[in-house]
Structures are given as structure tokens and as C-alpha cells.
Structure 1
Amino acid sequence: MMTRPATLIALALATSSLASCGSSGGNEEPPLSEEALAAVTENPGAPTRALARAADDLFTYDGLGETRALVVYHGGRLAVERYAPGYDADTRFISWSMAKTVTAIMIGMLVADGQLRLDAPAPVPRWQRTGDPRAEITLRHLLQMRAGLEHTEAGDPPQESSEVRMLFLDGRDDMADYATAQPLEAEPGAKFEYSSNTTVILADIAARALTDSKDPDIRRRAVSDYLKARLFDPLGMTSVVPEFDRAGTLIGGSLIHATARDWARLGELLRNKGSYRGEQLVPRGWVEEMVTPSPQSPHYGLQTWLNRPTGEEEHPLIPNRAPKNAFSMIGHMGQYVFVSPSQKLTVVRLGHSDAPERRAMLQQLADIVELYPET
């Protein structure tokens, strides 16, 4: 039997042990900074401190790369907005491949206008010559990245990449000419192959639908005016700056610049199936097409990534931690406009992360997403 002095000693040791696990211990999370708390709005739609913590971790954790901007909208209301030092609400961020979704929206509006047909042969003059097998490529094939054109997106060394050659080397002056000149390596429609060059072909098709002129300035103006009048101005996306090549073709696979808030506005438009303040800017049916899986890639629609499982461990999004109807624009080195309609959620993360960092960063982004219930 334990004597009374021994009992008191045991209780003292237990109390000391419990105290070491309390506020003075090393296991408790550090207090939230004023910056972290200020980033969250008054009614964010999720627990304020948990949201501030998850957002703060995205900026401060090692191994995630550099987060430069985070904007979260819930139910159409701003929930979180934060920037890294050197960036702010007026900074125009490069899209990289998020631009592909913008190009798909433009194509959809032209289809609705009767200027283009989704399942007709793509109107590329070079492919219409007698006997050219590329005449079987449809607009849908191009939009779903299954045109079958010979392509290497990421080469080693980099100059072996078809994308690099188009953007910076022998194709840079007339990117569409370079992209459409490639031969077939697969039957049109037979396989999925991600290709920035394919999106430039779509941008060229859009320009030729809007003007018969080959004058670069007229082509630039036709596309810029169309996007501005039909999409950017009605949405209030006043910061957008698209880039064009020397031939006047929109570099619609990678080079559109805009603020984080404006990228969020575009995500919100898609979350609302193309509707903004009662006006249907993009046909509802087209947005539904954009987020419908391709026959050759369950995680890809029309120039848009889908949060659907593929059976593979590696995935560009977070199918195990967010609804399968979620989708995203994704840009090189960690640009995301993640949209989850059933959570009424749009999350914009812009920054710079390499491949391993992106995998870790996506899991941290998922911590934010999971704070919002499905409705």
C-alpha cells in the first residue's frame, strides 16, 4: 500500500507533468498574428480562428513554396484576402496555364454566337487540304486535349519541349503556325495529352472567327475587344492584360495577367454557371460542358481540371479531400483558382512552388477547403 507522503509525491509529479502539456509547453500552436486574423472577414462562413490558422499556415509553413496571394470567396462574399510582402490587391499575377480556361470560355461564347461548331472539324485552313488526316480533328478534340498532334509539353533539356519551342524559340513569332504544322502521332480523339500548343490553336481559331484580317494589330484588337466587352468589363475584371504574339494571336495557353481578386471573379462566374448579377455572360450549358469529363481523361474537361479520381495516386487536385464536382484552373508553379460549387466556394492561391512543394501545398489548401461544409 502507498503511504500518504508517497501519494502526495505522486500527485505532485502528475500535476507537474500535466502542466508541462499546457500553455507553456511546446505542443500548443503558436498564437495567431494580427496579420493572420486581419486576413479573415467578419462573416467568413467558417470558424474564424481555424480559417485564419489554415490560411496563415499556407503562407508560413516550410516546404510549400512561396504563397504570394490568397483570396477566398464563400457564397459570393469575400472570406479571406492576404498577400505576401511585395504583393497587394493591385498586383497583376501571371496566369500561366490558368489562361487555358479563359480561352475555353471565349470559344464557348463564339459557339453560342454561331461562329463555331463544337463537333465540326476544326476550322484550320492548313488541315483542310485533300488527304490531310488532321482534318478529322474537331473543336471538341482540341478543347479536351485529345487532338493527337505530336507534342512534348515538358522536355529534358527544356529546349526539347514543344511548348518552349513555340513560346520562346522557332515558333515565337507565329505560334499558331508552329502548332498547327505538327503532324499526328495518334488518331484524333484517341488519347489525352496535355498541350499548351493546342490552346494557341484554339486562340487562333477564335481570332479568325472574329476577323478575316491577317494584320496583327487588327487580330489583337478583335480578340481584346471581344473579351473586354463580353467577359471582362461585365464581370468588373478591370485589371486583365492578355499577351499576344507577333502575328496577333492571343497566347491563350499561358500569358494572361490579372489581380487575385479578378481571378476570383472569374472563378465565381464559373461557380454560378456563367451567370453574374442576373446576366448570363457565358451559356450555362457551355460551363457544364467545361466541367464534364473527357472520354480519355476523367480529371479533365474543356481546358479545365476536374477534381475527379483517376485511379492513380498522383493527381493535380485533391479528390480525396473535396467534392468530386469541384474543378480548377491550374497554372505552372502553383497558380490555382479552385471552385467547389457544392460548398459555394472559390479559392485563389497564387505563388511559386516546385512539384514536391505543390503536392504539400495542395494538402494545406485542402485544410481551408475542408472548413466549408457541402450544402
Structure 2
Amino acid sequence: MTSAFPTLAPAAAGLSPTRLQAAIDFAIAHESPWPRSMLYPDGSYVGNVEWNESGPWTQIVGPVAERGGPAGIVLKGGAVVAEWGDTERPDMTFSIAKSYLSALAGLAVGDGLIADLDEPVGKTVDGPHFASPHNAKITWRHLLHQNSEWQGEIFEKSDQVDHNRQIGPGADNSRKGQRRELREPGSFYEYNDVRVNALSYALLRRFRRPLPDVLRERIMDPIGASDGWRWEGYENSFVEIDGRRIQSVPGGGHWGGGLFIGAKDHARFGLLIAREGAWEGRQLIPQGWFGQMLTPSPTLANYGFLWWLNRGPAANPKLPASAFSAMGAGSNVIWIDPEHDLVAVLRWIDKSASEGFCERLVAAVA
């Protein structure tokens, strides 16, 4: 059953009410330009347009839902100090699902299902996906850092679809999908949704249970999340494990599907991560996971285990170096600031404005 968040007046939490309201007004004024239907007038899916998707892998194979309006929630010291929009509406959340996969990987390590992050995935995940000479070198750490260079096709999507992909403001995806020569696993970062789907599949093979069931039982129910969230796979992503037909789920909504969830549930998850996996006296995720999760990748200084870090050349000097976030297209953000004990969730803000909101939020700390 969903439990209520404690609330606290901004001033009592050490925040300037005026500056906090300015941050909220900024978020509302900078709504995502994406159509609320998720389809442009010509019927094109927002993802295909956003990522300049073309070629044989553009088919939408998972559910797509109309989005809500701007929404958000801010926690200070674990209490709600601000809330706007519909924070309970379950909306698509795109690549924030990757950070939930990171938490599940932490559970797998804690359970002994992954004995060593530097062990080849193919040692414990059988089948063709990690059997080739190239893919046999890929470790769990490579998949979590998105530098695996995994090659192949899974659920009828090829890794090539995200070759030469760029993300973030100013991204140039004119060459996206053009085949390039692969590097050695662990040597080259590329944001590649097919490879994240391969990680999700590998985790499914280790848990041998639907990942949404594991997430609900081990994390979401214990933190008091609603029963309205869901994690959808593709129509063709069912696999057989121990005689059961189980759907593998993706790390985003690139081709539909993914995590459909409300801002308030995201805030609970964000607070759990900010508290290093502890919730009301229970250690839900092994505490030792978080130091590894937030260590910069050797191939991208502002990336950990499927979480974005405020580190390296891309760091924003106006924000704490310890801050980190889960981000999804659209844009959807869980931003965590350990220095100020802040957790903020943003739904449907223009991607160029999310850091501006965070800067204003930090400026509201008295």
C-alpha cells in the first residue's frame, strides 16, 4: 500500500520560498516540445524523429501512451517541499529505466547471481547473445558502463541502429545507424539501447524471473510505491526460462514499452538511491553497490553504472560535483544532490532547461 510522504514548508527545510517558486515556474514555463500524443501530425513516433531513426529497425514494438503535462516534486531531507502537476500519473519515462536496471544489477550482485562484475557475461548466461568470439569478451561492467561494443540482434533490433548516436543538447545524429567498425569491449562509449536491452535480457536470465516482479517485490513495494507503475516489454521479447514464457523488458521507450510510472514513485526510488539503498531501517540494495555505481567510467567521465554524473569536462560548475541523475528523453529526470540532501523529479521539461532548473533549486538553499 502506498504510504504518504512527509511534507515540510520550504522555509522550515532551509529553502527560500521565493527562489524555490522561481525554479518551479521555470520548469513549468519550459515544457517539452514533444507532442502529448507522442505522435507528430504525420503519424511519426517522437522517438524516430528525436533520434533521426530510419532504416529497417524503426518499427514500434511496445506500447506507447499519451503523455501528461509538466509535473515535478522536490524532496529535502526526505520530505516533500514542492510539488506541481500530476505527480501520480504513470507516464512513459524512457531511459530512466536504465537506472532502475542498475539497481537490479546491484541486487544481482548482492544475491551472488553476478559473482564478479569483470567476469564475462557469457560464463553464466548461455545462448547465442554472448557466445561469439567478440561478445564472449564482454563483462557485466562493460554493459553497465555502455562501453561493451556488444554486436548482434536481439528482439529483431540490431546494435547498428545506434552506431554513431549522439545525445544531449546539440547532438548530431546525421550519421546515426551508419555501420562503423567495432572496438574492443570496454574501450569505447556509445549510448546504445540495443546493448542495454541485452543487459536487461542477461539480468533476466540470472534472476530467472520477470524483472518487473523483482523490482516490485524487492524495491518498489518496500518503499511504499503505488501499484500504478508498470514495465512493458516488446510484443516479440518473450523468452522461455524453466518452462515459463517471460517477457524481457527494455531500458527505455525507444521502440515503445519501458517503464510507465509517476513522478511521486520516481521520487521514492530517488530517495532510496540517495540513502544508498536504505529504507526505514532495511538495506534494500547492498550499500557497497553505490560506490561502484557512481564511479566514473574510464570511457566517459560523467557516466557511472547507467547513471549520469556531474563530473569530468561536461560537469556543471554551478552544481555540486557529487550530484547525479537518471535521465530519459522527453525530458524526464531524477536528480539527486547528496550535498544538500535534495531529490528532484522533473517530468516533460525541455531538455535544454533541466540544468537551469537544478541551478535555481540549488540557489534556493539558504
Q: TM-score range by the shorter chain?
A: 0.7 to 0.9
Query: Does the C-alpha gap of structure 1 residues 206 and 302 become closer, same or farther in structure 2, counting only changes over 3 Å?
Result: same
Query: Does the C-alpha gap of structure 1 residues 184 and 290 become closer, same or farther in structure 2, counting only changes over 3 Å?
Result: farther
2:352 counterpart residue number: 359
> Aligned to 2:78, which of 71, 76, 79?
76
Q: How many residues align?
A: 292
Residue type at the aligned position of 1:242 = W
Contact preservation (8 Å) 1:309, 1:319? no
RCO (CA 8 Å, sep 6+): is it higher in 1 or 2?
A: 2
In 1, Cα distance between equivalents of 2:259 and 2:74: 21
Q: CA deviation at 1:352?
A: 4.7
In 1, Cα distance between equivalents of 2:196 and 2:74: 28
In 1, Cα distance between equivalents of 2:345 and 2:87: 13
1:189 counterpart residue number: 186
Fraction of identical pairs, as percent = 27
Q: CA deviation at 1:41?
A: 5.3
Residue type at the aligned position of 2:352 = R
Matching of residues 1-375 of structure 1 within 5 Å? 43-60=12-29, 65=33, 68-83=70-85, 88-116=86-114, 117-123=116-122, 124=125, 125-126=127-128, 129=131, 132-149=133-150, 151-153=160-162, 154=165, 185-211=182-208, 222-238=210-226, 239-245=228-234, 246=236, 247=238, 248-254=247-253, 255-310=258-313, 315=314, 319-353=316-350, 358-372=351-365
In 2, Cα distance between equivalents of 1:120 and 1:298: 23
Q: CA deviation at 1:206?
A: 1.4
Q: CA deviation at 1:158?
A: 8.8
Q: TM-score by structure 1 length?
A: 0.71
Q: What do the CA deviations read for 1:248-267 (whole angstroms, capped 9, x no partner)?
A: 11113341011111101111
Contact preservation (8 Å) 1:334, 1:352? yes
The secondary structure found in structure 1 opposite 2:95 is helix
Q: CA deviation at 1:127?
A: 5.0
Contact preservation (8 Å) 2:17, 2:364? no
In 2, Cα distance between equivalents of 1:57 and 1:127: 45
1:170 counterpart residue number: none
The secondary structure found in structure 2 opposite 1:349 is strand
Q: TM-score by structure 2 length?
A: 0.73
More helix by share: 1
Query: Does the C-alpha gap of structure 1 residues 152 and 258 become closer, same or farther in structure 2, counting only changes over 3 Å?
Result: same
Contact preservation (8 Å) 1:321, 1:370? no
Contact preservation (8 Å) 1:322, 1:370? no
Q: What do the CA deviations read for 1:337-363 (whole angstroms, capped 9, x no partner)?
A: 00011110011111052xxxx224422
Q: CA deviation at 1:101?
A: 0.4
Query: Does the C-alpha gap of structure 1 residues 257 and 106 become closer, same or farther in structure 2, counting only changes over 3 Å?
Result: same
Segment drifting more, 344-353 vs 136-145? 344-353
The secondary structure found in structure 2 opposite 1:120 is coil
Unaligned runs of 5+ in 2: 1-7, 35-68, 151-158, 239-246
In 2, Cα distance between equivalents of 1:200 and 1:158: 21
Contact preservation (8 Å) 1:299, 1:309? yes
Q: CA deviation at 1:207?
A: 1.2
Unaligned runs of 5+ in 1: 1-38, 163-181, 212-218
Contact preservation (8 Å) 1:119, 1:138? yes
Q: What do the CA deviations read for 1:110-162 (whole angstroms, capped 9, x no partner)?
A: 11101123111013432554x61221110000000000235453499999866
In 2, Cα distance between equivalents of 1:157 and 1:75: 39
Name which one, 1 or 2, has greater alpha-carbon Rg.
1
In 1, Cα distance between equivalents of 2:233 and 2:353: 34
The secondary structure found in structure 1 opposite 2:343 is strand
